[in-house]
Copies of this chain bind each other. A is one copy, B any other.
Amino acid sequence: MIIENTISLDKIDLAILRLMQENSRISNVHMAKELEMAPSAVLERVKKLEQKNVITQYTARINPVAVNLKLLAFISMKASHSIGCMDTANELSKLKEVQEVHIIAGDDCYLVKVRTTDSASLMALMRNSFSKIPNILSIRTTIVLETVKEEQQLVIPEK
Please judge, given known A-B contacts A149-B100, A150-B99, A155-B97, whether A57 and B60 are in contact too, CB under 8 Å: yes
Q: How many residues of A contact B (CB 8 A)?
A: 64
> How far, in angstroms, from A97 to B149 measured CA to CA in the complex?
12
From residue 16 to 55 of chain A, which have CB atoms closer than 8 A to chain B? 17, 20-25, 52-55
Interchain CB contact under 8 A, A57 and B23: yes
- Contact A102 B72, beta carbon cutoff 8 Å: yes
A63 adjacent to B67 (CB under 8 Å): no
For chain A residues 75-122, which have a beta carbon within 8 Å of chain B? 86, 89-90, 92-93, 96-106, 108, 111, 115
B104 and A145 form a contact (CB under 8 A): yes
Q: Is A128 an interface residue (CB 8 A)?
A: no
Q: How far is the CB of A3 from chain B (nearest CB, A)?
A: 17
Using A24-B24, A147-B100, A149-B99 as known contacts, say yes or no to A142 and B52 having CB atoms under 8 A apart: no
